[in-house]
Copies of this chain bind each other. A is one copy, B any other.
Amino acid sequence: MEQTILNDVTALVEGSRDAMVSSIDDEGYPNTKAMFRVKNEGLRTFWFSTNVSAIRTGHWQKRPQASVYFVDSEGFHGLMLTGDMQVCTDNETKLAFWKEGDEQYYPQGPEDPDYCILRFTAERGNYYHGLSKHLFRTEDMPEG
């Protein structure tokens, strides 16, 4: 991927509060929901925080297949990444991502059994801008 395109992609991700995160449900249908972008390392690893009891957490526990999509609808460009979603319920990871205010959702604090961290590892990417399209594999990308 050319550096100028990589710069555009990185600006799109870093400028996005939300990502559209997709799973596959028990009936085999894709499911999508907006989630806050909590943290990422380049275009390879993304973290989100959610409830263990959330419907989609259950999907990924059964099928890790996921996609993460960033879009700027006004600028007609978007980045879609596909890869696997890991549901992290260990206290070390949970504590590392805990932030002030999370207790309103998870009253028991960072060890709340309903609090978990999702770790997405991208394998493939598709960046489009207008009618141009760039398919890539994340293993070929520089580390973020």
* Interface residue ranges, A against B (CB under 8 Å): 17-18, 20, 22-25, 27-34, 55, 65-67, 69, 71, 73, 78, 80, 82-83, 126
Contact = CB atoms under 8 A, between A and B. Distances in A.
Nearest to A34: B71
A24 B28 contact: yes
28 contacts: A18-B73, A20-B20, A20-B32, A22-B22, A22-B31, A22-B32, A23-B30, A24-B24, A24-B30, A25-B82, A27-B65, A27-B82, A29-B65, A29-B66, A29-B83, A30-B30, A30-B31, A30-B65, A30-B66, A31-B67, A31-B82, A32-B32, A32-B67, A32-B69, A32-B80, A33-B71, A33-B78, A55-B126
